[in-house]
Amino acid sequence: MAKPILTFPHPLLYKKSREVEELNGALARLVEEMLETMYGAPGIGLAAPQIGENIRLIVFDLSDPEAPERRPHHLINPVITALEGEVVGEEGCLSVPGVREKVKRYARVEVKGLDLQGRERIFEAQGLLARMFQHEIDHLDGVLFIDRLGPIKRRRLKSLLLKREREG
Ligand code: ZN
């Protein structure tokens, strides 16, 4: 079942998530819930803390939403093991609805993690996939993309978001 997505400034979004220590049925169910939540939003990636679970788990799918078969992925305890270059591109976040801003990221990253079967998965990513990994791994460290903006823009945006939150 899809879960509600926590939005800025929810404190769980600012908490560092702990490593997954056990691959079990509860974790598999959480992966399913996260995928349903992500597809329902819709989004291309989701990190566990966005639905209130502060563990190092992400799901993603960059395939064409119109395609007959989607390509769901999950990655447990993902770590960036190599990085290269810089690129600025527009980003948004399901936890910061209605905001898109240009963010500087590494152009290419290698990301390692585990799947539910305990197999090591390695992704050599560039373009949107590389951006998605950096964005979702930031969530596991309690960092939102708006925290990566310059200080003036960040302050302006945060006060706007807090005002919007107060006014409902
Ligand atoms: Zn996000």
Q: What's residue 116's pLDDT?
A: 98
DSSP string for residues in 84-98: E--EEEEE--TTSTT
Q: Which of the four CATH numbers 3.90.45.10, 3.30.420.40, 3.50.50.60, 3.40.50.261 does domain 11-167 have? A: 3.90.45.10
Task: Kindly tell me if the per-residue pLDDT of 96 is higher than 90.
Answer: yes
The residues whose Cβ lies within 5 A of ligand 1, an ion, are 93
- What percent of the chain has pLDDT above 90? 94
Task: Kindly tell me if the per-residue pLDDT of 168 is higher than 90.
Answer: no
Q: What is the pTM of this model?
A: 0.96
Say how many Å lie between the CA of residue 95 and the centre of ligand 1: 6
Say how many Å lie between the CA of residue 162 and the centre of ligand 1: 17
User: Which one is catalytic: 22, 136, 165, 167?
Assistant: 136
Average pLDDT in the 80-84 region?
A: 98
**Local confidence band at 159 (pLDDT 50, 70, 90 cut-offs):** very high
**Local confidence band at 165 (pLDDT 50, 70, 90 cut-offs):** confident
90 tagged catalytic: no
In the chain, what are the domain boundaries?
A: 11-167
At 22-79, the pLDDT tens digits run: 999 999 999 999 999 999 999 999 999 999 999 999 999 999 988 889 999 999 999 9
- Long-range pairs for 58-66: beta carbons < 8 A, 24 or more residues apart: 58/133, 58/136, 58/137, 58/139, 58/140, 59/31, 59/34, 59/35, 60/132, 60/133, 60/136, 61/35, 62/128, 62/129, 62/132
Say how many Å lie between the CA of residue 66 and the centre of ligand 1: 22
